[in-house]
Structure 1
């Protein structure tokens, strides 16, 4: 088969099984080397031949299994001076390197929908993945960043008596045997959702075989509103079982690891918080975990904040890409939160607003994060760009970080999730007109995307961020409107 092809069908093996993969993850980058993991999936009992690249042979080993699939991983390292070619499952793939020069980084989020996602027409569902794949074929990506909600797991709780009515009604003191049965039920549900996506989206699999992924989860990777739900739900035995299974699945399918062998880029190797950072020449990618320690009164806990303090103490870099699964900059939400208090029909959306940095419940912590990024920019001269998803719209915003630097917020949300009504985009745009200034003297401004009239765009979308001759730009691909003109991410 030709180079840079991939397996997405149930290719028969001698032992009667099938193969799918590979999917690449960037474990770490240091000392001029990329440390990578490659996942493959098989229904057979035999283990595939080792992964082969110029540096050697790397065997596959099983790290998980369920719903008839075995998940196998090979870890390998390679120098970044030249493109890396490796061979797995009988096919060759090339990884674009040269991270000290021009960079081409793709960003996507919200890969699914809350209800009926497994029943959608794959061609409709995955249309934006196909366009991103075509962009990669025209100009290869160095990295693929996933900004949250890589799957929509909201329906995995259905079909079991302990979780059927989640989160409205939760048993207070279930039997241990029933919880073990629930764990197995939920695990099958998570595995099914990940494997169904992989098997039904050849465009993603083609990307994933040659572009290393870096992921950060958001609520739907666990359940809708995780952390913003009442403590009686999330800290119940059922809630904790749901969380533990979701974390296991996230580590396997979004990071290529398990709880006892997390890659070096993670700050906390215990898995209490899944925040990470990675350093490339003149750019640092930072992805705090905004879900693991979240409660209705906090976005991050002690572990998450210790990571951010460690990031602030790192040696200077020119550019920071800050992956905030929930947008760091947005409109004033206090108007909507006040309306919910007096409007019963709106109270069902309270958890959605609690998810946002701008919620009144998180305002102090939001200011702390913005001040920390301001201090980093002032102390090191780094430019900061926040990449976010979550709201199923495309948008952008800016906020000054001192006198000579600007924080750019880029929102690309809805690679597979269909957009909300246009009226919702207009409501958010109207709220943006009220202004917001969580830090004195640093007002947030919500801008239209290049070529767009409204502040938010209600179309499915993806984002590409590039560095060319040390200048950074962003281009959105909007499903109906097409690609925007490049937006310069200047410092001021």
Structure 2
């Protein structure tokens, strides 16, 4: 066995020095090293303590196979563990962050690992739940994934109607039945919007003069109060059960989105986004995003207007401010995790470089997490060179895997296959709104209709966030075409995760049926699993029904269509959430479970139970393949756990939907479908595949033929 630690075969002492802990433990997955002879799992545990504590120590040991095996259990009975000393990432006069780095081998069996941190003492005297445990796959397994987003409450949520993060109880029940190897946070893991309502930005937000608001300084005093707010909000939320329990037992992978900073960050007008207050809170939010969500040391200082050295990014990180470093320790000189794909240039509003993720999720699944917030403006999601870095990394990793990678999971902060709302954009940005805006400015008319930052219609920042917004369409199309090309070149199925919109849906791209290509052989077939919110309140059912009515067949390009899939074949638990005819959007809190299909239940990929192939439908309002034809609550994987299905090597996807928001047990109803593995030979010579290959190549050339300055900054048709 391989460990990271200081004392292999260490016994856990009966007593250790007391450690006053404020938050934690939080468990993260970092990456895997996969070679023909071994697979090594990398992760970490974080705790937050009071300052001046003795160096804490974590004890780790293998607890045996997940599936009981008496012989293995007996062999492991006398196995001792390893002691791992905490590494201090950050400490100031109020708190300290400690990370324990875990490096462990994958076995021939799915294994449970146990860890304890002796001496933890919580401020309220609460139970420390020690020992904690987590599960890793065998060296021949792909990971079992849980996906969530929007894990918090928007400002003004009626807490009498929407009680706590109760759906995490269902996550823990499913995890107990069949453990998740990782939980993927798609953004908005925490809601920091209250900083402008009852926090240190309240007075600034109330400034009525837009010029004074834009030019307001972000002093060190304001930075310190914002720093205190973000820290306290993280501690409060990450210590809230049952989310706290999941944090210590299921390794996390996270990207951030606007609410991790403040609602709409990046999507307001450029001149306002560049104001000092927004730049300042962007830096403070990044600091705690690094610490709590990634277990890495933050920049030494963040932006203030009274410390000139912090006002311009230096190699993507603001210069050091002696005032911020007074009585403060920040770990320096640590090599970056190999999971990072770090952008070349700082973002326009956050003085840091984007941090995208590449990870291997077990034997056959690769993962990309796109940081779509650090570089975001109203006119771009990411810099063109960031996409190049991502695809260059993918090419290297697939080449090194020698054919093992069969599925690529792409994580985005917002959905990319989703109904168009251009008609609403046109209304809200039309001259008709101008008189109302003037009355709002002078007399406060329709105050809730306009945001308090740039005076625009409040809903516009949400619409501008979407890939389907008119200013993002070209960037969206080019990104999807590059994913199609990657899928075709390597016969790797691509599936996309996205949240943000507070309801569940399944979007998908696919080859225009006129091309006669089955989904099993179609590199253009890419599912977008839309799962949100796991905690925030859903939209009214009228909004979900409106989106359902807008579910048209869209033509992304001449060869690619897109639409939502019919999956919601009934109301969850018989409780009405939307119209009976609406099978495509579900306005109820939810999360997703993704499991590789290990055992087929039919006579081969694409086959119906009687052995016949599912005919290619006329359009995407009908099932595109067998795995969609059985979609709904009767699908074998609706329980969130099943690894059997109609397509060996594909994925089962379950959406677990909350039945009653006031049920503290978080009981849920499942809907599921299957995604087929991709079987595509890019060198095939028959006319249909030859045409398909030419189309993919042509799309790539069209994308790359434009000068870099022309993409993806402007709107597309």
TM-score (norm 2): 0.62
Between 80-89 and 280-289, the greater mean CA deviation after superposition:
80-89
C-alpha separation in 2, matches of 1:168 and 1:221: 27
The SS at the match of 1:284 is strand
The SS at the match of 1:112 is coil
1:171-224 C-alpha deviation (Å, 9 max, x unpaired): 45555xx521121111111111111012222x2222222221000111111111
Give yes or no for the alignment of 1:360 onto 2:441: no
C-alpha separation in 2, matches of 1:174 and 1:19: 34
Among 112, 117, 125, the residue aligned to 2:152: 112
1:371 CA displacement: 0.3
8 Å CA contact retained: 1:151, 1:221: yes
Give yes or no for the alignment of 1:77 onto 2:103: yes
C-alpha separation in 1, matches of 2:364 and 2:394: 15
Distance 1:49 1:466, change over 3 A: same
1:36 CA displacement: 1.1
Give 2:340's aligned residue.
266
C-alpha separation in 2, matches of 1:87 and 1:70: 21
Higher strand share: 1
C-alpha separation in 1, matches of 2:556 and 2:59: 52
1:129 CA displacement: 1.0
Between 186-195 and 154-163, the greater mean CA deviation after superposition:
154-163
Runs of 4+ in 1 over 3 A off after TM superposition: 13-20, 64-69, 119-123, 160-175, 259-262
Q: Which residues of 2 match residues 443-462 of structure 1 at below 5 A?
A: 443-452=561-570, 453-454=581-582, 455-462=584-591
1:280-327 C-alpha deviation (Å, 9 max, x unpaired): 311111111111101111010145223322244231520011111110
C-alpha separation in 2, matches of 1:462 and 1:168: 42
The SS at the match of 1:137 is helix
1:230-256 C-alpha deviation (Å, 9 max, x unpaired): 112221221111111111111111111
Give 1:5's aligned residue.
none
Give 1:490's aligned residue.
676
C-alpha separation in 1, matches of 2:208 and 2:266: 12
Distance 1:16 1:33, change over 3 A: closer
8 Å CA contact retained: 1:377, 1:401: no
Distance 1:254 1:56, change over 3 A: same
Give 2:659's aligned residue.
480
Q: Structure 1: which 5+ runs fail to align?
A: 1-12
Among 35, 40, 60, the residue aligned to 2:86: 60
Counting matched residue pairs gives 475
The SS at the match of 1:228 is coil
Between 158-167 and 374-383, the greater mean CA deviation after superposition:
158-167
Among 322, 325, 337, the residue aligned to 2:425: 337
C-alpha separation in 1, matches of 2:504 and 2:418: 12
1:76 CA displacement: 2.0
8 Å CA contact retained: 1:449, 1:484: no
Distance 1:120 1:257, change over 3 A: farther
C-alpha separation in 2, matches of 1:267 and 1:310: 10
The SS at the match of 2:371 is coil
Give yes or no for the alignment of 1:378 onto 2:488: yes
Distance 1:302 1:399, change over 3 A: closer
C-alpha separation in 1, matches of 2:182 and 2:479: 26
1:94-131 C-alpha deviation (Å, 9 max, x unpaired): 321225325421111101122157x9579921111111
C-alpha separation in 2, matches of 1:197 and 1:399: 36
8 Å CA contact retained: 1:222, 1:242: yes
The SS at the match of 1:17 is strand
Among 200, 209, 213, the residue aligned to 1:159: 200
1:66 CA displacement: 6.8
Between 46-55 and 316-325, the greater mean CA deviation after superposition:
46-55
Give 1:409's aligned residue.
528
Higher relative contact order (CA 8 A, sep 6+): 1
C-alpha separation in 1, matches of 2:208 and 2:363: 45
Give 1:194's aligned residue.
234
The SS at the match of 1:200 is coil
Distance 1:67 1:84, change over 3 A: farther
Distance 1:142 1:401, change over 3 A: farther
1:53-86 C-alpha deviation (Å, 9 max, x unpaired): 2573221133235794432211121112252524
Between 45-54 and 443-452, the greater mean CA deviation after superposition:
45-54
Structure index of larger Rg: 2
Q: Give the aligned CA root-mean-square deviation in angstroms.
A: 2.7
8 Å CA contact retained: 1:39, 1:71: yes
1:356-390 C-alpha deviation (Å, 9 max, x unpaired): 00000011100011101110111111111111110
Distance 1:20 1:299, change over 3 A: closer
Give yes or no for the alignment of 1:471 onto 2:650: yes
Between 299-308 and 338-347, the greater mean CA deviation after superposition:
338-347
Give yes or no for the alignment of 1:320 onto 2:408: yes
Q: Structure 2: which 5+ runs fail to align?
A: 1-15, 62-80, 119-129, 299-331, 345-351, 437-448, 450-456, 571-580, 599-648, 661-667, 679-717
8 Å CA contact retained: 1:378, 1:401: no
Q: Which residues of 2 match residues 38-437 of structure 1 at below 5 A?
A: 38-43=45-50, 45-47=52-54, 49-54=56-61, 56-65=82-91, 68-81=94-107, 83=111, 85-90=113-118, 91-99=130-138, 100-101=140-141, 103-115=143-155, 120=159, 124-157=163-196, 158-160=199-201, 163-165=204-206, 169=210, 171-174=213-216, 179-201=219-241, 203-259=242-298, 261=334, 262-268=336-342, 271-279=352-360, 280-314=362-396, 315=398, 317-342=405-430, 343-344=432-433, 347-400=457-510, 403=517, 404-405=521-522, 406-433=525-552, 435-437=553-555
8 Å CA contact retained: 2:416, 2:528: yes
The SS at the match of 1:275 is strand
